[in-house]
Each structure stands twice: as C-alpha cells, then as structure tokens.
Homo-oligomer: A and B are copies of this chain.
C-alpha cells in the first residue's frame, strides 16, 4: 500500500506517493482530481501578502481590504449577491471565492486578469471597490516603517512598488487551497469517506453533463462558457462576460466556469448572485445549460455530492498590521 496518512495538530493530510496500486488507478480515472496541498512557498513573501490582504489602508476609505469581499472566515467570499465597495457602491458582479483561485485559467468572471498578481491590483484602483490608486496605496505603505522593513526582507529594496505589493498578495493567495475535502479523501482511496447518496449525486453529476465544465482539481475554473446555453438566462445584471475582454459578440454572456470547491460556503451563486441556494443553482444549471429538469430527489443527491467538496479552510493567525506613522497619509472615508 503506497498510501500514508500524516496526522498533525488539527489537520490530517492524505498523501499518495505512488500510482501503481488499485487505489491510485481508480483515482486516475476520475475527471476530478484532488486539491494538492501547498508545497513550494516563499513564506516571508506570503506572510507579507497576508498582512496586505487584510490591510484596509490599501483603500481610500481605510475601511475596505481584500478580505472585506473575499472573507476568509466565510469561504473567501462576502456571501452577498454583489459586493459593497467604496462609499457603499453596489458592485456589478458577485465576488468569486479567493479559495483555490490559483487553479483558475484566469481571474475575474470575464478572465480579464491573467493571474492572481494582475487581479490583485484591480480592486485597489477601482473607484467602486477600494477607490484608491496604486500610487497612493504605495505612498501609504512606504510611510509605514513596519512594511518598509518587511518589504526589504522579501524584495531586497527600500522602495515599495505596486509590483511587489501585488506579487506578495498573490503569493499569499496561492496558499489558500483547501485540500482534504471528503470528496478528495474518497478520490485518494478512502472508500468510506462518502455516503451512498453522495456517491449517487456524483454519478448523476457526471451522467447529466455537469462534469463537462466542472472538472479538474478545482471542479471548474478551466474554461469560459455561455450562461444560458439551452435557454437564455434572465437577469437584471449588466455584466456582459468574456466579450468585454475579447470584443467578440460571440463571447457575450460567456463567463469563467466557477470552481465548485467549497461551494457550500460560497453562496449566493452565479455571476449575479441570484441563486440563493445550491438546490436553486443546480435547478437553473440543469435547465439552462443541459436542458434537463432535475427532480427534487436528483437535486438533493447532487447537492449532497457538492457539499463533499468543502475542504480544509486555510488556518492561520489573524495578522497584526504594522501601525501608521505620523507621516502616513490619512484615509478619506467621507
């Protein structure tokens, strides 16, 4: 048996060390792969990024941090239909979870940022989100002695720039994976990890065609698909999707397929947040994407399967932020 279990405080890691056994073969045949734990990390950079992720001084108001809308206490989301931004601006789209976001082919619903680093700069300078500019955010950080020292340790420079800031935030976000869900335990060979109704839900998920888009380790995040394939999706949302990036009419209402990892925690669903529950989301997906009307029993089983995708949430000490100095530009909330 090439499988071993390491138990540490509060956390059990199941690691497959070979591919030659019956267990590994069964896992290799599945269209969903386990989330890999973080293996290579620049710890000092990730720690700096964690502080920045939690620091509302990256916003004009001094009130909104990355964690405000990608709350790591709540599945890396804000659990709102669309987000609240600077001066209570109503955002145009649902905040996607930051959990496992490093596994996506690109960032934002329309994929307009190629990676986490590029994404991290977006909200800071968006007038309706953090309402700041990169220049002013960097000025604030440069005035904080604790950040200057930590930045120099990580990047070797006394001069903070937005490139380093977003690099550090992305390094932290890359640690936000959620291994060891019950589904992954099952994939890794623990056949007792799932109940029969959950396995039946997974079978339905595959047979019905959900798996065509929701596959891979993130169970999504790997392609853009049109919202409303079989029948149009009715929404008040003005979000156009991928066409805003490509300029192609054929890409209208195409959105990045969201990850279903931790979907139990990332309600409400869809780019407009209009599906309040997983039952509703499965129903709409069946009808509009697959032309299938699931029975309540079928939906219940699929939802039972989806809830097995909740992994271990990132566990870390709440960061303590370095204080501003007398020369730090003060926030302008009102």
List the interface of chain A (C-beta within 8 A of B). Answer: 54-57, 61-63, 68, 71-75, 78-80, 84, 87-88, 90, 264-265, 267-268, 276-279, 313, 315-321, 323-324, 326, 330-331, 333-334
For the residues of A in contact with B, the DSSP-based class is loop
Q: Give the complex CA separation of A105 and B68 in angstroms.
A: 33
A279 proximity list for chain B (CB < 8 A): 326
Known contacts being A74-B321, A277-B326, is A62 close to B80, with CB within 8 Å?
Answer: yes
- Taking a contact as CB atoms under 8 Å apart, the answer to whether A323 and B84 are in contact is no
Shortest CB–CB separation between residue A2 and chain B, in angstroms? 32
Known contacts being A73-B319, A73-B320, is A268 close to B84, with CB within 8 Å?
Answer: no
Q: Give the complex CA separation of A72 and B73 in angstroms.
A: 14
A84 proximity list for chain B (CB < 8 A): 61, 63, 333
- Taking a contact as CB atoms under 8 Å apart, the answer to whether A80 and B54 are in contact is no
A331 proximity list for chain B (CB < 8 A): 79-80
Given A55-B73, A90-B333, A278-B326: 5 more A-B contacts, CB < 8 Å: A57-B79, A84-B333, A313-B320, A316-B318, A318-B318
A317 proximity list for chain B (CB < 8 A): 315-318
Question: Residue A88 contacts which of B54, B88, B316, B323 (CB distance < 8 angstroms)?
Answer: B88
Closest to A55 in B: B73
A330 proximity list for chain B (CB < 8 A): 268, 276
A-B contact pairs, 24 of them (CB 8 A): A56-B74, A56-B78, A57-B79, A61-B80, A62-B78, A63-B78, A63-B84, A72-B318, A73-B318, A73-B319, A73-B321, A74-B321, A74-B323, A75-B323, A87-B88, A88-B88, A88-B333, A90-B333, A265-B323, A267-B323, A313-B320, A315-B317, A316-B318, A318-B318
Shortest CB–CB separation between residue A85 and chain B, in angstroms? 10
Known contacts being A268-B330, A334-B90, is A79 close to B324, with CB within 8 Å?
Answer: yes
Q: Give the complex CA separation of A318 and B75 in angstroms.
A: 12
Q: Give the complex CA separation of A80 and B57 in angstroms.
A: 10
